Amino acid sequence: MAPTKKAEKPAEIKAIYNPPEHIIKNATVREYDKLYRRSIEDREGFWAEQAELLDWYQKWDQVLDDSQAPFYRWFTGAKTNIIQNAIDRHLKTARRNKLAIIWEGEPGDTRTFSYHALNREVSKLANVLLNMGVKRGEIVTIYMPQIPELAFAMLACAKIGAAHSVVYGGFSVEALAGRITDAQSRVLITADGGYRRGRATKLKEIANEAMQRAATIEVCITVKRTGEEVYMENDRDFWYHDLMSMPIAGHKCETVPMDSEEMLFILYTSGTTGQPKGLVHTHGGYAVYTATTHRMVFDIKEEDRWWCAADPGWITGHSYIVYAPLINGATVIMYEGAPNHPYPNRWWQMVEKYGINILYTSPTAIRGLMRFGRAWPDRHDLSSLRLLGTVGETINPEAWRWYHEVIGRGNCPIMDTWWQTETGGFMITPLPITALKPGSVTFPFFGIEIGVVDEQGQEVATGADGNLVIKAPWPGMARTIHGDPDRFLETYWKDYKKQGWYKAGDAARIDEDGYVWIIGRTDDVIKVAGYRLGSAEVESALASHEAVTEAAAIGLPHEIKGHAIHAFVILRAGLSGSSQLESELKEHVGREMGPIAKPESIEFVDMLPKTRSGKIMRRVLKARALGEDEGDLTTLEE
Ligand code: WT7
């Protein structure tokens, strides 16, 4: 660990929080430097050792096959299925009767599932899917609220060797239709709706509209959650509970042994240009990577109750609500609704009620709850908490300190984990034993080699900003972009092709003690409340409105959300902007893409700054909006 130096330093760097004695004493990983060095010197040995902790139907011939780099392959020759480790192996031990999932709905209804019960639900659904003709390798789209069936659906697909594509329940028609089409999904699993802030969302209605735009769906299975009336089409639509009570569901289903490198899921995420890309993750490496990072970073103990308060619709939920905690045999808490419903103490009530030991959330959620004041958490017994975590964007020191002092009572280290949809799991993160600096993601995880470099790939000076790169492969890395390997190369591997490095798309800096600080995206990805959106998607949603000729979207700082979308719109000739049209356009984007993509504000303009080749210069728009220097304008077309 980097030592605590006495020398004068700027305030942000001076504050160092050493881990409490009881954490150090009980930590699974007691030492970083030596193990880190070893993991870099013998990367394959390190990962093989981690892989040995899991069950395999057949062990690997090779830990890493880099013959087609950067299309790396891990644990080749091995046979496994993530379900073998997430469910099957626990059934042979006392964990069989341990709670796997404790779920609470927003209205306050609760359901719990032991590993035994989880296996029953997943096996039955797997049989249903087999009966619907779902084949190994095909992609099933899942569009659900945060209910246990969402996890069952993911796990059931994996069990029979189908891949899943979960579309976040907050997304809307266009986003869903586009993802269904890209995946060529034949089967969609959805629900009538879910609860959010006391209201029933209308998922099935959106799904119906999306199925009209995306013609590939032949079978749609709907979970009844809200009981609201929904339209069901003959021969296409089936109720989940009907299918699950039919003899075809049975109660036993064999897990299909998969090649280590076979596809487990695709997950769409926004990039700089064009439509979202479906990143591909596979059974073997992903299981090893997520389980290892989860176990070591959050120091998972047998009796822990683990709450990752994200949505399974994002990579955070895939990796750390569903797969890693189940592989590690933990008890997972799932909560359906909003953190402040009906009151801003909902989360703290949950912590007290279930005796939650670890809470993992985002800076935007912390800031959102912080603004209601400490009286709300102070009413609750939060003493069960041992560790805290954060992800999604850089946490501002004020939110960090509130989280640490008010929620963690000054006693729970905060794991600020930097990672991406592409990385599968944590990449730069403290361990419980790490001395923390608020706002820094600290050090690379074992086996992860990073650099902060300039455009040429030269390491920048200590404390200077540069591009964050990852210098060597890791088991959890995305294997490709579904259907578009060229885009995979172009997006992540082109800029440092010579060196063979992965470009993260973030700017970062490393301070004199070796602590890593993430500055933010260097591309046109906008992080709104920790959710990742592409300027291009928001722009095309705007342009799909009949009044709009062209649009540009940028992210501007926002107190709670971190960033919010600000859009510039050119209207069709003869039309003029009004506040009424502004709200209509916002609604339109919300309807097409989902509420999270709604612009905070829209400005009507006559022209957009463009390069001579016709690219919108969003950097210039941003600088103008912030009243900053517009920088190099030589490529600007007059
Ligand atoms: C981008 C990736 C939800 C899982 C991770 C998000 C930003 C992520 C941190 C952090 C500062 C962070 C980066 C990254 N980011 N974690 N701890 N500190 N920035 O996955 O939606 O694919 O977004 O989120 O900009 O590139 P994602």
Q: What is the pLDDT of residues 465-518, one digit of tens each?
A: 999 999 999 999 999 999 999 999 999 999 999 999 999 999 999 999 999 999
Give the Cα separation of 119 and 113 in Å (integer). Answer: 9
**Beta-sheet pairing, 187-191 with 219-223:** parallel
Half-sphere exposure of 332 (CA within 13 A, CB side): 31
Tell me 481's DSSP state.
B
DSSP letters for 96-112: GGSEEEEEE-TTS-EEE
Which helix H or strand E contains 554, and what residues bound it?
A: strand 548-558
Residue 587: other Cβ atoms inside 10 A: 13
pLDDT at res. 638: 58
Q: Rg of the chain's alpha carbons, rounded to an integer?
A: 24
Apex 343 CA angle, 393 and 224, nearest 5: 85
Number of Cβ atoms within 10 Å of the Cβ of 181: 17
Q: How many residues does the chain have?
A: 638
pLDDT in tens, 237-254: 999 999 999 999 998 999
Residue 8 in this model has a pLDDT that exceeds 60: no
Q: Which residues neighbour 617 within 8 Å (Cβ) at sequence distance 6 or greater?
A: 609, 610, 611, 635, 636
Q: How many CB atoms lie within 10 A of CB 235?
A: 7
Ligand 1 centroid to residue 420 C-alpha, Å: 5
Distance CA 318, CA 425 (A): 10
Q: State how far Cα 501 lies from the chain centre.
A: 22
- What is the residue-averaged pLDDT of the chain? 95
Residue 631: pLDDT band by 50, 70, 90 thresholds? confident
What's the confidence (pLDDT) of residue 612?
85
Mutate to test the pocket of ligand 1, among 318, 506, 516, 526 (most ligand atoms within 8 A of CB): 506
Quote the ligand 1 centre to 422 CA distance (angstroms): 10
Ligand 1, atom 13: closest residue by C-alpha: 393
Identify whether the C-beta of residue 530 lies closer than 8 Å to the C-beta of residue 263.
no
61 token code pair: 């011939």
- Element spanning 398, H or E: helix 397-402
Which residue's CA is the nearest one to ligand 1's atom 8? 392
Q: What is the pLDDT of residue 633?
A: 79
Evaluate whether 611 touches 637 at the Cβ level (below 8 Å): yes
Residue found by looking up tokens 């989880």 in the block:
118
Collapse the DSSP code of 339 into the 3-class scheme (helix H, G, I; strand E, B; otherwise coil) and give the result. coil
pTM of the predicted model as reported, rounded to 2 decimal places: 0.95
Residue 104 has pLDDT above 90, yes or no: yes
Six token digits for residue 411: 């006693």
- Residue 6: pLDDT band (50, 70, 90) is very low
Q: Which residue has the tokens 């926004």?
A: 270
| pLDDT score of 9 more than 70 | no
- Closest atom of ligand 1 to 531 CA is 21
What secondary structure, in 3-state letters, does 37-72 show? HHHHHCHHHHHHHHHCCCCCCECCCEEEECCCCCCC
Q: Pocket residues for ligand 1 (CB within 6 Å)?
A: 269, 314-316, 391-394, 416-421, 441, 504-506, 518, 521, 527, 532
pLDDT tens figures, 271-304: 877 789 999 999 999 999 999 999 999 999 999 9
The closest alpha carbon to 353, from 326, 330, 387, 384, belongs to 384
Which residue minimizes the CA distance to atom 12 of ligand 1?
A: 393
Residue nearest to atom 4 of ligand 1 (CA): 316
Residue 69 CA to residue 228 CA, distance in Å, equals: 51
